[in-house]
Amino acid sequence: MPQTPPTAASTLDQSTLDHSTLGHPTAAAIGFFLLFVAITLAITWWAARRTRSAREFYAAGRSISPLQNGLALAGDYMSAASFLGIAGLVALKGYDGMIYATGWLVGWPALLFLVAEPLRNLGKYTFADVVAFRLRQAPVRIAAAIGGILTVLFYTIAQMVGSGNLVKLMFGIPYEWAVAIVGSVMLLYVLFGGMIATTWVQITKAVLLLFGVTLLTGLVLARFHWSPAALYHAVADGYGQAALEPGGLVTSPLDAVSLGLALMLGLLGLPHILMRFYTVPDARAARTSVLYATGFIGYFYVIIPIVGFGAAALVGREVIGGIDKGGNMAAPLLAEKLGGEVFLGFIAAVAFATILAVVAGLTLAGASALSHDVYVHVVRGGAADEREQMRVARWATVVFGVLAVLLGVLFKGQNVAFMVGLAFAIACSANFPALLLSIVWRRFTTRGAVASILTGALLTVVLIVLSPTVWVDLLKNETAPFPLRNPAIVSMTAAFLVGIVVSLLGREERAEAMFEDEKLRTYLGVGAE
């Protein structure tokens, strides 16, 4: 993505900034935030009494309804980056922001068509359960945990650094404090309430976010006689017709398709999303929950450009770009303009809540890879009783939570915008090919799975470092050895090829025999957890 041209501070409309309470903790913002924390901690207290077994800790006792799971999936996916980031992108770049928004939705149907139901039927708590189902446990679990943890870690770093910056911008509290608050509150959710609390925190946040963005959209449209055409007219008057036309976002078709692949198929390898399918009773509920999730997320991405265009027309690009050159403050500034200090406080609190909830989901996914995949299945060979499993799960949660806070502090001030892209690229290259092949291909072997996952993970990281995103933008070299900004088209293809070729080089009789029996479970749900 091209860099936003930095707006000179001198061109700022200073009077608008002076009137804004952005960056100062207002009573409304703190009040709404404390209310959210109080409600979610009450949920956690309620959930803690229902979290006694590993099944409850990792999978909410498989008691979540399709509508609830649909909201929780949407909550996991609609991060602060998509809410604030895409509104800002549309405000500053116009139509290009809309192109970006579409990419975030199209993974959901693919997730349903290719993996959701088999995943639910074959697995227990993690996607590695599915990959390792008929292969040798130890090597596959370790490889899958590497792919899963790398994905979750990069995603978490992006969220933590983003949250520190956002909270600093919105509430004016120091970066380290913001990171520490996010880290400790979300640890309380996960540690005591496990998946039950994490799910209900996601649901609460998803409802608040959808409500806030709907209200914001309504207030914008009300200013334009409920006519989007009138809104576009105001945008074109201010910033020229170019704001409504495709601009510089997509230049090379290959780069565009590669980014599209990562966004679409990366979803099919995100551990914290895949984990949600184990919280519903059966494959049918998993299927229906994707329909709800796609509806909520689709609605969100259809209305968020109106918020972005509204911010451009009513607040102005100079003011938005002056406060934060990525445009992240477009939605909060618009909220203040249309609904005053109280609405700004509400939107700021929702953004904070969004970060908390997403980091909680990521922590649970990271912890489950450490405890369920590595400790229980590799170290203990699958023989750990309930008490031991729960103890290890909680320790893994603490380890991952502390790691998240430390990484957040370590990466302070770094440009981590590429890290979400990196997380999606690893997810679609390391996790997705092995997951799909293990479901559909009889001849898939342990060696094939391990080789595919490691190839995908390693190649993605190396190619991202050699790409213009890191090599030129971050390391300030002249030209990049690898031309694509997103390597998915190369790294995912390589992971599939390596997985197939290595599997064909040797046979695994036991895995092939199990494939037939497994079909009953994959397609009919017989024997599913």
DSSP calls for 252-303: -HHHHHHHHHHHHHHGGG-HHHHGGGGGSSSHHHHHHHHHHHHHHHHHHHHH
- Closer Cβ to other proteins, 22 or 249, answer by number: 249
- Closer Cβ to other proteins, 112 or 338, answer by number: 112
- Closer Cβ to other proteins, 36 or 296, answer by number: 296
Tokens, residue 328: 């992240």
CA distance 458 to 474: 20
Q: Considering just the CA atoms, what is the radius of gyration of the chain in Å?
A: 23
Binding site for other proteins (CB under 8 A): 95, 98-99, 101-103, 105-106, 108-110, 112-114, 117, 228-229, 232-233, 235-236, 241, 244-246, 249-253, 256-257, 260, 264, 284, 287-288, 290-291, 294-295, 298, 301-302, 305, 440, 516-517, 519-521, 523-527
CA distance 20 to 322: 13
- Closer Cβ to other proteins, 21 or 258, answer by number: 258
- Closer Cβ to other proteins, 231 or 422, answer by number: 231
Give the shortest CB-511-to-other proteins separation in angstroms.
15
Closest among 174, 151, 62, 54 to 361, alpha carbons compared: 151
Give the shortest CB-132-to-other proteins separation in angstroms.
16
- Closer Cβ to other proteins, 92 or 153, answer by number: 92
79, HSE (Cβ side, Cα atoms, 13 Å): 21
Give the shortest CB-109-to-other proteins separation in angstroms.
5
Closest among 361, 355, 296 to 108, alpha carbons compared: 296
Residues 471 and 481: beta-carbon distance below 8 Å: yes
CA distance 229 to 236: 10
Give the shortest CB-330-to-other proteins separation in angstroms.
18
Give the shortest CB-262-to-other proteins separation in angstroms.
12
- Closer Cβ to other proteins, 240 or 340, answer by number: 240
CA 500 to chain centroid = 29
CA distance 396 to 496: 31
Give the shortest CB-516-to-other proteins separation in angstroms.
6
- Closer Cβ to other proteins, 290 or 356, answer by number: 290
CA 462-253-82 angle, 5° bins: 70
For residue 458, what are the CA distances in angstroms to 44, 107, 268, 455?
38, 23, 19, 5
Give the shortest CB-70-to-other proteins separation in angstroms.
11
Give the shortest CB-184-to-other proteins separation in angstroms.
37
For residue 457, what are the CA distances in angstroms to 33, 151, 525?
38, 9, 31
Closest among 305, 372, 370, 316 to 96, alpha carbons compared: 305
Give the shortest CB-217-to-other proteins separation in angstroms.
14
Give the shortest CB-219-to-other proteins separation in angstroms.
20
CA distance 79 to 358: 6
Tokens, residue 118: 């088999």
CA distance 335 to 344: 5
- Closer Cβ to other proteins, 83 or 352, answer by number: 83
- Closer Cβ to other proteins, 177 or 226, answer by number: 226
155: how many CB neighbours lie within 10 A of its CB?
28
